[in-house]
A and B are shown apart, each in its own frame.
Chain A
Amino acid sequence: MKSTALNAGPASAAAEPMQDSRQGGIRKTSRINRFMVSPSVIVLALWMVVPLSMTIYFSLIRYNLLYPGDNEFVGLENFQFFVTDFGFMAGMSNTLLLVGSVLLITVVLGVLISLLVNQAFWGRGIVRILLISPFFIMPTVNALIWKNLLLHPVSGVFAAIWKFFGATPIDWFSEFPLFSIIMIVSWQWLPFAILLLMTALQSLDQEQQEAARLDGAGPCALFFHLTLPHLARPIAVVVMIETIFLLSIFAEIFTTTGGGPGYETTNLAYLIYSQALLQFDVGLASAGGLIAVVLANIAAFFLVRLIGKSLTEKQ
């Protein structure tokens, strides 16, 4: 019995001749398994539970750093305050707009570009590396590059192009603030999509393509009937992972527009930041954080329902 438990493998358990002792072995095995993983589970649980309960606690009291000691219980007042604030609706819609547009841009462009670089051409290796490289640039640096080198209305590259064609340069961050942010973030995340889709394309079965060509499929039919279905899974991965990160975009906004003008580029993450550290209202920010957590969970729930199925499905 002891040896069965220690070997812990299903094979050694199955080798046990008698039904009773085999079940006993498995039960014992799973108990030992549980014991072995418990340290990491406990650490992880503490890691989550402590900050979460602190946040919940802060969200239920008045806690403004400007008025120390004035910490009485206020119930859901912080939540009510956060939700009814004008910035909340703006933050919500900006977050959705930002996430949605960046997803759309990165997926569509990602598919097209990865299809393009999947063709054999001279210098493909270099082009691929160049395409991936923006991903390795820190968000802050990326935003600064865009702000000072590309979009700057006086010294930016875009301004130079506009001037070259005789047009008036655009002051991107004041005229199209959210669009500018979307551009910057898309540039940052496009390589991620390309990377995943490019690798997926390489595993596209050549003989299937040939069979389809013999069946009379042109480039369009090939794309819609073979390539796109094949890319469904990596696209799902791109959408899920990007959504997680895009919901909490912060550095790009902080370094460029600072959430403005007005609330035009304030997303939820930035709103919470401004509540906590610009208005020093920790209670309100905690409430906002909890709302964001709930929203992220709702988004995650739908994402998993929508596309998670294709991930867990066996290929």
Chain B
Amino acid sequence: MKQYLANVQGVDGYLIFSMIVFMSFFIGLLFWVLKADKKYIDKMKNIPLN
């Protein structure tokens, strides 16, 4: 029974943990990308065509 409970808790704990990790990663990423310098982005875009 104890083992069973531990497993059930594991489900939530794991999901919440991994969601938090991903979300913080993603929000940080989004923040930085939105801040990106337009000149830099344009330059990068054109690298294959140069």
Say whether A associates with B: no
B interface, CB within 8 angstroms of A: none
A interface, CB within 8 angstroms of B: none
